[in-house]
Amino acid sequence: MKLGIERRSYGISCSNLAPLIENDVNSLVLIRHDRLEVQQYCDGKLHHLLDITINEKILCLKSLPVIKDDPSDRRHWLVCLTESNQLWLIAFSDQQNSFVVVDRVTFEGLKGEICTMTVTEDGNFIAISSIDNFVHIMYLDPSKQQLYKQALEHNPPAGKINRTLKKNRIFLKPCNIYLADELIQNCHFLADNILALVVRDSNLKYLVKYYRVVKHSSRFSEFNCELLRKFQPLPETPVLSIPLPNGCLMVLGEEIHSIYPSGKTIFKFENNASFGINKLAAVKILTRELANLRAKITQKQIFTVFHVIDEHRVILGSNTGDYYLVSFDIHALPKTEEELEREQELLNAQRQLELEIESQDFYSISSWKFVHVGKSTIGNDMVHLEDQKFFISSTTDKSLIVDIGRYEITQLLSLESDGFLGPLTAGLCYGHGNVLLAQGTISKSHLFGVDGRSITVPGVIRKILLRGESFYVLGLKEVGSEIHSFIYILDQKLQIKHIKTYAEEMLDIVVDKYFYVSSNDHKSDQSVIRSFNFDLQKLKEVRVPIGTISQLATRGGFLVAVGSHLKIYNEELEDQILFSVVGIASSCLSFFNDSKLLIGDFKLGVSCQDIDLDKPYIGSIKALPVEDKLSLCSLVSVLSDQCLLTSDSFGNINLFQKTEDGFILKSSLKIGESITFICKGFHQPKTVSLEFELANENKLALKNSVAFVGTMSGNVYSLHN
């Protein structure tokens, strides 16, 4: 339901630059939910040409060359994926003077969504991965040029159907890779038709696998995929992977970044103090590096967007709006006489035993630097327009045309988001039908109630608490090149009573007898927990040498902190117990009752931990069941002493009921948007029939709600029985 103001996102989710209408003129295609906007960049401005409406949400967009036998026609076709698991092939028809749908393929039988797509540079192969552990590889046979031209003009070829069915198909029979217990995070085509997959195995370890796509002339097997390489597990959870022009793959974590060699290359060690290297990977720990004389990177960066300039330079953008120029020198090394002799022996063995043994090329990396070039919009896609000018698309902020120099980034043109204020970041239900919502980005946020009260504050709001007659608002804001935290104390009219700012990033805040705040000291790799009174005067501070503490929870005079370990304190912040936990990417922490602690983890889902705070004692831990293997918990809300609600970034909402044997899944709902917060409503759910639906837009639905859910696109939903 919509509460008073329009918040649906009209941001740009992805973009593509290619010659679509004319040979020598690139068109910029922008995705706004279910619409393709075709623009032309000229003289520093964007000129709108036309729109193409798909009538369902578009997840991914690529362009590829299809017509290859006509030098006068170098135009690309568009291929896009939708949320109903359909692949659309769209191209411009000169005969009809408009874009036409050349083909549409539906992937049936999939329980989950298609999540990523990649194409080869020559446009012959399209790889599509789904959360059902499948990779589907589609083939556009370059020998069917005449068929593609006829399909573009909607002119079917002549001939009997039973003789020409295979011949006249746009796509040949796809090749499928099934990865069993491995979940696919991303896929990329590298050089020589090598498909790189970033997967998570059954041991919850992430690793990189290379497959070679091989084309056959056999009647029954047109092409297949062969496993080429399987690398060692990644040192930490990957957040972004980038195919490089030299055939290597760069994988970025929050701190540790790796480069994996191409299909027939191994790295050779050379003395270099700035990063480690072995024959199968080069690893760099960014937070220990001096990026340049002007900026030392001391905070973890979650990179969300990239653009490959050439084989030596890549631009990266993070979820804080920071942009970096990455430069490296990957160069070939000459082979020694021993290596040449060994290679000759392998080739001789290949001829005698009829084996396929490829020769290995030796490469090394002599430099690898990260240079901070400035701050800009929080992007999710990036294309190069001309010279140093780039278009950065965003769904949570403004989409911009910027000029990126060596040490600065300059805004040239802004595309407004049609009144979109940003994602919903926090919410609070209180009293009798009162709802408080926070919406915005790192630049500014709007805190408003459904009764019309509102206030605008600089920075992004992360949490809202109510204590007595005052609201306590925790958030982050930019101060120069640093991220600082703030706590606002507001009265019932949302007027400011008091403000406190801190030169650090606070991660969580909870309230019991005192306020407790957690933050991280990046210089010492320690977490800090502080207690405050309700006038925000600091009472006590303790340092916890267990790495990042991401979440806090209070119960019965005890404080529980979770990170790589579980730490329990009494209300005076005196040590009680330290306990190891399985997950280290905790996203939420909540007590179900005095003996049950719920731990949400981005990688492991939600688990229920038996706990006795009086002793204290930590007992067994048990994962809650889910239908979707990738439906990993990011948020938990306890609705009553009988049930709880969980959600994830894929838009899945699960309702669990407590039984004598543990929690059972009673109902599921998919919203189709990335969920940012979930909070308890005004009514307890019925334990007899635990079903819920999206509410209608009316005040009665608001007051009868069981819970509220906010999304990245700015929508808020109320859930009911």
Distance CA(597)–CA(566), nearest Å, equals 11
Confidence of residue 328 (pLDDT cuts 50, 70, 90): confident
State how far the Cα of 203 lies from the Cα of 693, in Å rounded to an integer. Answer: 36
> How many angstroms separate the CA atoms of 499 and 484, rounded?
13
- Which is it for strands 45-53 and 35-42: parallel, antiparallel or unpaired? antiparallel
Residue with the larger pLDDT of the pair 294 and 83? 83
Instruction: With cut-offs at 50, 70 and 90, classify the pLDDT of residue 306.
Output: very high
Residue 437 has, within 13 A of its CA and on its CB side, a CA count of 28
Label residue 425 left, alpha or beta by phi (over 0 means left) and psi (-120 to 50 means alpha). Answer: alpha
Q: Number of C-alpha atoms within 13 angstroms, CB side, residue 488?
A: 23
User: Among 202-206, 224-228, 414-418, which is the least confidently predicted range?
Assistant: 414-418
Tell me how many degrees the CA angle 111-116-119 measures, rounded to the nearest 5: 130
Assigned CATH topology for domain 424-641+655-666: Methylamine Dehydrogenase; Chain H (2.130.10)
Angle, CA 458 vertex, CA 525 and CA 517 arms, to 5°: 35
What is the reported pLDDT for 354? 52
Instruction: Scan for tokens 């005095």, then name that residue.
Output: 594
The token pair at 643 is 């049930």
Q: Which of 67, 54, 55 is nearest to 151 (CA)?
A: 67
Is residue 402 within 8 Å of residue 410, measured between CB atoms? yes
Q: What single-letter amino acid sits at 376?
A: S
Return mean pLDDT, the chain: 76
* 604/529 Cα distance (integer angstroms): 25
Provide the percentage of residues in the chain whose pLDDT is more than 70.
73
Name residue 287's amino acid.
T
Instruction: Please give the residue that has the higher pLDDT: either 262 or 61.
Output: 61
Residue 689 has pLDDT above 50, yes or no: no
First-to-last C-alpha distance (Å) of the chain? 15
| pLDDT value at residue 111 | 54
Which of 10-14, 311-315, 348-352 comes out lowest in average pLDDT? 348-352
Residue 417 has pLDDT above 60, yes or no: no
Q: What is the pTM of this model?
A: 0.62
Secondary structure in 3-state letters for 532-554: ECCCCCEEEEEEECCCCCCEEEE
DSSP string, 403-459: EE-SS-EEEEEEE--TT----EEEEEEETTTEEEEEEE-SSEEEEEETTS-EEEEES
pLDDT digits (tens, 9 = 90+) for 529-580: 888 888 888 888 888 765 666 677 777 777 777 766 777 788 788 876 666 6
| Closest alpha carbon to 378 in 420, 425, 456, 322 | 322
pLDDT of residue 343: 67
Report, as an integer, the average pLDDT of 356-370.
Answer: 69
Strand partners, 186: 198
Report which of residues 197 and 659 the model is more confident about.
197
For the cut 70, the answer to whether the pLDDT of residue 359 exceeds it is: no
- 508-534 pLDDT, tens digit per residue, is 788 777 777 777 665 555 678 888 888
196 closest CA partner among 204, 206, 205 = 206
* pLDDT of 100 higher than 50: yes
Which neighbouring-strand residues pair with 502?
485
Alpha-carbon torsion (268, 269, 270, 276), positive or negative: positive
- Amino acid at the residue 615: K
Q: Pairing state of beta strands 454-458 and 506-511?
A: unpaired
Q: CA nearest 406: which of 293, 524, 325, 494? A: 325
Q: Which of 444, 423, 427 has its CA nearest to residue 380?
A: 423
Tokens 């408003």, residue? 448
Residue 288 has φ and ψ, to the nearest 5°, of: -100, 5
What is residue 52's predicted lDDT score, i.e. its pLDDT?
Answer: 84
pLDDT in tens, 175-185: 888 887 788 88
pLDDT at 83 over 90: no
Taking a C-beta distance cutoff of 8 angstroms, is the pair 95, 151 a contact?
Answer: no
User: Which residues, 6 or more positions from 83, have their beta carbon under 8 angstroms from its beta carbon?
Assistant: 56, 57, 58, 59, 113, 672
